[in-house]
Amino acid sequence: MKNIYIITLFFILLGCHNEDNPKVELQAGKYTLTDDPNDYVQHYIYDFYQKYGVVILTNPDSSDYVYNFNNQNPISLKAPEQEKEVLKTGLQFIEEQFLNIYDDNFKKKYFPFTIQLANRIELWILGDYDLVNAYSSSGFIAIANINDDLTTLEETTRNNYRGDINQSLWTEYLLKREAWFVPGAFYEVSKEYYGDYSLFESYTVEEGIIEARECGFITFDPYMSETEDPEDCLLFIPSQEMDVQQYFQFLFSSTKEELDELMEEYPLVEQKYLLLQDAIQKQLDIDIFSFCLPS
């Protein structure tokens, strides 16, 4: 048995970073990783840290995710059941939907210090919460839905989780750590619509998506009417932040054929995707279109 004594998850000021390597600097010791070749979960976590310097937490507590030194994350996280089969299935799930998408160099250079497994993640806004599939902050990404349901997920749900996890990494962690930058031209395409609610009446969800894509958005942000009738929704324009998130969510949850079809049908969507592709190719030497689902 080998022990690795690694450092705790308390960050230096958020503004301090290295643009070539957005990982946070860390202080004092907290976690001990012990290898056990006979324990799939323990060995996986040990091996992953050895290779990439990233700690996978299967039982995070509030000290792992609430504070980022000088600010507080508005989330509450429920850890998974600590049964070995649940954790093994969870690790296999995130490996398929997240970890294996990226090569070794990317994981070493651009992954946050911890990957935190959760049964559920509650994002608190104005005294209420929404359940989210993933959440990233300055030193971690938390991934929800690690439970018995993973073994019976429908393909659409699984793909949606893939989109949410990876867009969280790109838009909530890497973008905010300045590993890459959204080109200003991306926002210019739909700038006349941001914050303008005067254009929109009630739509069906399908009508709203079509209207959104004609304006250069993946979808509008739906607000259900008081009747909660899916055929009668008030649809709001995404913020600039949500706009980028939706582009990445669609990218990671769709095949290249589906992406090509979308871009062919909606010229403004194509324009914005090509701007993102070009920017990240120049900044990180990565073709984001390679992240689409396998056909």
Planar angle of CA 192, 198, 204, nearest 5 degrees: 105
pLDDT of residue 4: 39
Q: Which carries the bigger pLDDT value, residue 130 or residue 99?
A: 99
Cα–Cα distance measured from residue 222 to residue 62, given in angstroms and rounded to the nearest whole number? 31
Higher pLDDT residue, 196 or 121? 121
From CA 255, how far away is CA 187, in angstroms rounded?
25
Q: What is the mean pLDDT of the chain?
A: 85
Q: Indicate whether 20 pLDDT > 60.
A: no
Q: What CA–CA distance (Å, rounded) separates 106 from 156?
A: 27
Question: For residue range 179-231, what is the model confidence (pLDDT) as tens digits?
Answer: 999 999 999 999 998 877 655 556 677 887 888 899 999 988 655 545 556 56
Which pLDDT score is estimated for 163? 98
Structure-model confidence comparison of residues 19 and 152, the more confident one: 152
Strand, coil or helix: 110: helix
188 vs 56: CA distance, rounded Å: 39
Tell me the C-alpha distance between 173 and 112, whole Å.
8
Alpha carbon distance 215, 163 (integer Å): 22
Question: Which CA distances in Å does 1 have to 41, 57, 230?
Answer: 15, 19, 56
Choose the weakest-confidence range: 81-90, 167-176, 228-237.
Answer: 228-237
Q: What is the pLDDT of residue 1?
A: 43
Q: Which two tokens stand for residue 145?
A: 């839905």
Three-class secondary structure of residue 26 per DSSP: strand
DSSP per-residue string spanning 163-215:
HHHHHIIIIIIITTTTSS---HHHHHHTTTTTT--TT--EE-HHHHHHHHHHT
The encoded tokens of residue 200 equal 């929109």
Question: Cα(242)–Cα(239) distance, rounded to whole angstroms?
Answer: 5
Q: What is the pLDDT of residue 57?
A: 95
pLDDT of residue 68: 65
Regarding predicted confidence, which is higher, 262 or 2? 262
What pLDDT, on the 0 to 100 scale, is given for residue 109? 97
pLDDT of residue 6: 37
Confidence (pLDDT) at 273: 98
Query: What are φ and ψ of residue 2, in 5° steps?
Result: -120, 145
- In this predicted structure, what is the pLDDT of residue 228? 57
- At a CB cut-off of 8 Å and minimum separation 6, what does 181 contact? 175, 279, 283
Whether residue 11 has pLDDT greater than 50? no
Helices 240-252/155-167 angle, 10° precision: 130
Please report, rounded to a whole number, the percentage of residues in the chain having pLDDT higher than 90: 65
Band the pLDDT of 10: cuts 50, 70, 90.
very low
What is the Cα–Cα distance from 27 to 5, expressed in whole angstroms? 12
Q: What is the pLDDT of residues 125-170, one digit of tens each?
A: 777 888 999 999 988 999 999 999 999 999 999 999 999 999 999 9
* DSSP states of 94-126: HHHHTGGGS-HHHHHHHS-SEEEE-SEEEEEET
> What pLDDT does 160 receive?
96
Tokens of 233: 């929704």
pLDDT at 30 over 80: no
Spatial separation of the C-alpha atoms in residues 202 and 231, rounded to whole Å: 9
